[in-house]
């Protein structure tokens, strides 16, 4: 039964797009029209981290573990120190992800038992 749940969970990640949320609200960086996000597609991830876009790889294991990265980012300058801080915290948390939970509407990324980031499915795909 566990294997079926893991396959179902990993299927929710394939070709999916997610928007970062905090307290049920989208999180924005410097670009107020674009929330922080992550997309999964056939072993590759990409997304928006506040000022810059990022790309990299991901590997899933049967026990709901995931390895993200290494990540590469564009090099746009964040003009606002708060935007830069938000982006750095987001990218730092992505680098620490070890496992996940996912369903049709929500993706949670963890470092062991500690929730790092929570996303909702991007319905604007």
- Asked, for residue 4, whether it belongs to a domain, the answer is no
From 50, 54, 46, 34, select the one nearest 87 (Cα to Cα). 50
CATH number at residue 63: 2.40.128.270
- Domain holding 93, by residue range, is 16-121
pTM: 0.87
Q: What is the pLDDT of residues 7-41, one digit of tens each?
A: 455 677 888 999 999 888 888 877 778 899 999 99
In tens, the pLDDT along 34-88 reads 899 999 999 999 999 999 999 999 998 877 899 999 999 999 888 788 888 999 9
In a domain, 7, yes or no: no
Q: How far apart are CA 19 and CA 6, in angstroms?
A: 22
The answer to whether residue 64 sits within a structural domain is: yes
The domain tally of the chain equals: 1
Calpha distance 120→112 (Å, rounded) = 20
Q: pLDDT band at 123, cuts 50/70/90?
A: confident
Which own/partner pairs from 91-94 qualify as long-range (CB within 8 Å, at least 24 positions apart)? 91/49, 91/54, 93/117, 94/38, 94/54, 94/68, 94/69
34 lies in some domain? yes
């Amino acid at each position: 039964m566990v294997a079926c749940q893991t396959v179902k969970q990993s299927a929710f990640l394939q070709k999916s797009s997610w928007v970062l949320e905090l307290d049920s609200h989208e999180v924005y960086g410097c670009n107020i029209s674009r929330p922080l996000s992550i997309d999964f597609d056939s072993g590759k991830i990409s997304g928006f981290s506040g000022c810059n876009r990022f790309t990299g790889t991901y590997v899933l294991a049967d026990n709901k573990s995931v390895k993200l990265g290494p990540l590469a980012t564009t090099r746009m300058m964040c003009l606002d120190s708060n935007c830069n801080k938000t982006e750095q915290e987001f990218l730092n948390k992505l680098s620490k992800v070890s496992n996940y939970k996912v369903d049709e509407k929500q993706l949670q990324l963890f470092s062991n038992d500690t929730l790092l980031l929570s996303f909702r499915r991007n319905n604007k795909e």
